[in-house]
Amino acid sequence: MLFIAIGNISVFALDYLIPTGVSHLLWLYWPSVLSGEIWRLVTFVFIPPPGIIPLLTPLVIYFYYWLGRNLQSEWGRMKTTVFYLSGMLFVIVGSFIHEQLTPLSLLLITGSDLNLSLFLAVATLFPETQIRIYFVIPVKMKWLALVYAGLVVHSVIVSGSWLPLLPLGNYLLFFTPKLIKMVRRQSKYSKKALEFKTEVRRAKKTQGYLHKCAVCGVTDAERPDMEFRYCSLCSGYECYCAEHIKDHEHK
Task: Tell whether 15 and 114 lie within a shared domain.
Answer: yes
193 pLDDT band (50/70/90 cuts)? low
What Cα–Cα distance (Å) separates residue 61 from each residue in 79, 80, 155, 173, 224?
Answer: 21, 17, 23, 25, 55
Task: Tell whether 215 and 175 lie within a shared domain.
Answer: no
Task: Tell whether 218 and 168 lie within a shared domain.
Answer: no
pLDDT at 237 over 70: no
In-domain check, residue 204: no
Out of 183, 218, 234, a domain closes at 183
pLDDT at 187 over 80: no
Residue 15: which residues within 8 A CB-CB, separation 6 or more?
21, 22, 23, 48
In-domain check, residue 77: yes
143 pLDDT band (50/70/90 cuts)? confident
In-domain check, residue 203: no
244 three-state secondary structure: coil
Task: Tell whether 55 and 173 lie within a shared domain.
Answer: yes
Task: Tell whether 75 and 158 lie within a shared domain.
Answer: yes
The count of other CB atoms within 10 Å of the CB of residue 92 is: 19
Phi, psi of 36 (to 5 degrees): 125, -10
Cβ 11 vs Cβ 26: under 8 Å: yes
Task: Tell whether 178 and 215 lie within a shared domain.
Answer: no
pLDDT at position 231: 73
Out of 143, 166, 183, a domain closes at 183
Out of 183, 199, 233, a domain closes at 183
In-domain check, residue 102: yes
- Is pLDDT larger for residue 159 or for residue 23? 23
pLDDT at position 6: 92
10 pLDDT band (50/70/90 cuts)? very high
In-domain check, residue 7: yes
In-domain check, residue 201: no
How far apart CA 192 and CA 57 sit, in angstroms, is 47
Task: Tell whether 10 and 63 lie within a shared domain.
Answer: yes
pLDDT at position 38: 92
Cβ 129 vs Cβ 138: under 8 Å: no
pLDDT at position 78: 92
In-domain check, residue 192: no
Task: Tell whether 148 and 247 lie within a shared domain.
Answer: no
In-domain check, residue 243: yes
Q: Which residues of 11-42 are buried (b: 16+ CB within 10 A; e: fewer)?
A: bbeebeeeeeebbeebbbbbeebeeeeeebbe
pLDDT tens for 44-93 read 889 888 765 677 788 888 888 888 898 898 898 999 999 999 988 988 88
Task: Tell whether 225 and 149 lie within a shared domain.
Answer: no
Domain membership of residue 225 as a residue range? 209-251
Structural domains counted in the chain? 2
Cβ 235 vs Cβ 214: under 8 Å: no
Task: Tell whether 58 and 162 lie within a shared domain.
Answer: yes
Give the best-scoring range by mean pLDDT among 60-69, 123-132, 172-181, 200-209: 60-69
What Cα–Cα distance (Å) separates residue 241 from each residue in 211, 223, 229?
Answer: 9, 10, 6
Q: What integer best gives the mean pLDDT of the chain? A: 79
